[in-house]
Amino acid sequence: MMYYDKFTLISEREKEVLQLVAYEYSSKEIAQQLFISTNTVNTHKKNLRSKLDVKNLAGMVRKGFELGILELEIRA
């Protein structure tokens, strides 16, 4: 998929964090899932807010869907 230039700078790890945010994982849960520190998770979230030019987590998720970074999956 092609995104706007600044969106191609989103790393695979940031995409993983964004996906877990979309599924309502807390920073602590994301850290445990990805085997990274909570501080690292928060840094990824901060970088995503900046790269996606949004103010909060809801904006990150909305923009993720708009840009095709996130896709709707039905979880049972």
Q: For the chain, what are the domain ranges?
A: 10-66
- Per CATH, the architecture of 10-66 is what? Orthogonal Bundle (1.10)
pLDDT in tens, 12-42: 999 999 999 999 999 999 999 999 999 999 9
68 Cβ contact list (under 8 Å, min separation 6): 1, 3
Buried b / exposed e over 37-57, threshold 16 CB at 10 Å, is eeebbeebbebbbebbebeee
Share above pLDDT 90 across residues of the chain, in percent, rounded to a whole number: 76
* Distance from C-alpha of 68 to C-alpha of 29, rounded to nearest angstrom: 24
Phi then psi for residue 6, to 5 deg, are: -65, -20
pTM for the predicted model, two decimal places: 0.85
